[in-house]
């Protein structure tokens, strides 16, 4: 029930305070006496459109305050709960709505001196006041409100809450069921690709840290190519057409024709030729070993290319391939379990639908 209406600087009104008693109140007067201004003020304070044209001339703001006495209003109680307002306090102390519009265009709304949005103010106002004009569609004629009036008259608040909770639970079950069904459909469509991808990873059989180890080995084997070039050059210097062995042999033959005896020199040359030959054979053995490492280098290069190619294909770093394989295994397992989960959710939908019937 409207108890008081306070108006400040509103259209033609400078200051007005009205008090209302129980029962019917009639405002009468000649045309132009200001009856409609009072209704406009009441409309503003329950969430109507606030325009600067409603502010009294030469004033900075207009303020309208309406006080209501609230008793056993279940619909209002539910709405106040939605906007986190304590209904018991309102029921005990009364409900006071206040609307302030300023000349610069701003507008503020208050519930018992607590700031609220204009939309919240309008929601409260619609539950407290119905302003009807000569050509308005009366609330009683709106079929959408008939059920509310019936429930209010029959005091069905508890029943409404019970039905609402069960209906929301049913809706939630349906939503989870539809989501799970869509996810399962997408998973089944993806299953063939997942199985193919997992097979690739299994065949590759990569191990943790393998790429890093291969990269280090490749670097070492690449250095071996440079080493074999140097060794082959050294062998050429030793045994080539103009190598040290040929030169020493020529020296030996020349000294054999010398008339004087120089055995110590000839023996030294003989030893040098033998040692050069041994060095040549040793270098040849090393070169052969390095040539076998070249084959290993090719194997390493191929392995690295396979690992990195598969990583690029799946958009993950090479170090993430092992984890990717585990993730794919989990997805495939979930697909296998998806049918059971979907059946459980479908049963839950059926059960919740039965529970929602009262």
pLDDT at 89 over 70: yes
Q: pLDDT class for 135, splitting at 50, 70, 90? A: low
Q: Judge whether 160 lies within some domain.
A: no
pLDDT of residue 57: 92
Task: Tell me: do 342 and 225 sit in the same domain.
Answer: yes
Residues 6+ apart with CB under 8 A from 300: 214, 217, 218, 221
Domain co-membership, 278 together with 334:
yes
Whether residue 162 lies inside any domain: the answer is no
Contacts of 353 by beta carbon, 8 Å cutoff, 6+ apart: 170
Please indicate, yes or no, if residue 182 is contained in any of the structural domains: no
Does 138 score more than 70 pLDDT? Answer: no
57 and 126 share one domain: yes
The answer to the question of residue 314 being in a domain is yes
Query: Is there a contact between 117 and 109 (Cβ–Cβ < 8 Å)?
Result: yes
**Mean pLDDT (whole number) for 86-103:** 88
- 339 belongs to a structural domain: yes
Strand partners, 109: 99, 116
Range of the domain at 20: 2-142
In a domain, 216, yes or no: yes
Residues 195 and 334 placed together within one structural domain of the fold: yes
107, 232: one domain = no
Kindly state whether residues 130 and 262 are assigned to the same domain. no
State mean pLDDT over 66-78: 86
Residue 101 phi, psi (nearest 5)? -120, 135
343 and 277 within one domain? yes
Q: How far is CA 318 from CA 204, 258, 297, 330, in A?
A: 12, 73, 20, 20
Q: How many domains does the chain have?
A: 2
> If pLDDT is split at 50, 70 and 90, which confidence band does 290 have?
low
Does residue 265 share a domain with residue 342?
A: yes
Q: Label residue 292 by pLDDT band (50, 70, 90).
A: low
For residue 96, what pLDDT is reported? 92
Instruction: Report residue 330 as tokens.
Output: 């989990």
């Amino acid at each position: 029930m409207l108890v008081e209406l306070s108006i400040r600087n509103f259209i033609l009104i400078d200051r007005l305070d009205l008090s209302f008693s129980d029962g019917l109140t009639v405002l009468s007067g000649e045309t132009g006496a200001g009856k409609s201004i009072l209704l406009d003020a009441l409309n503003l304070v329950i969430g109507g459109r606030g325009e600067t044209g409603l502010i009294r001339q030469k004033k900075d703001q207009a303020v309208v305050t309406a006080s209501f006495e609230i008793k056993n209003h279940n619909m209002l109680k539910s709405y106040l709960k939605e906007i986190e307002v304590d209904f018991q306090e309102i029921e005990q102390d009364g409900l006071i709505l206040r609307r302030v519009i300023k000349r610069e265009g701003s507008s503020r709304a208050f519930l018992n001196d607590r700031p609220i949005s204009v939309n919240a103010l309008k929601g409260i106002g619609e539950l407290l006041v119905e302003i009807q004009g000569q050509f308005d569609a009366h609330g009683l004629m709106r079929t959408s409100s008939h059920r509310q009036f019936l429930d209010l008259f029959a005091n069905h608040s508890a029943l409404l809450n019970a039905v609402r909770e069960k209906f929301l639970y049913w809706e939630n079950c349906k939503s989870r069921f539809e989501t799970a069904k869509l996810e399962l459909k997408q998973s089944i469509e993806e299953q063939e690709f997942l199985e193919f991808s997992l097979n690739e990873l299994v065949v590759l059989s990569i191990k943790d840290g393998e790429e890093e180890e291969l990269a280090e080995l490749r670097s070492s084997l690449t250095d071996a190519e440079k080493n074999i070039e140097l060794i082959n050059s050294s062998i050429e210097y030793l045994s080539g057409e103009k190598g040290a062995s040929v030169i020493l042999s020529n020296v030996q033959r020349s000294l054999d024709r010398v008339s004087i005896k120089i055995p110590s020199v000839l023996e030294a040359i003989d030893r040098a030729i033998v040692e050069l030959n041994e060095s040549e054979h040793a270098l040849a053995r090393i070169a052969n070993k390095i040539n076998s490492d070249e084959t290993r280098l090719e194997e390493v290069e191929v392995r690295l290319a396979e690992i990195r190619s598969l990583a690029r294909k799946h958009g993950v770093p090479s170090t993430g391939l092992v984890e990717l394989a585990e993730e794919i295994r989990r997805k495939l397992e979930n697909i296998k379990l998806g049918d059971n989960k979907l059946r459980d959710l479908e049963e839950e939908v059926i059960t919740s639908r039965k529970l929602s019937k009262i």
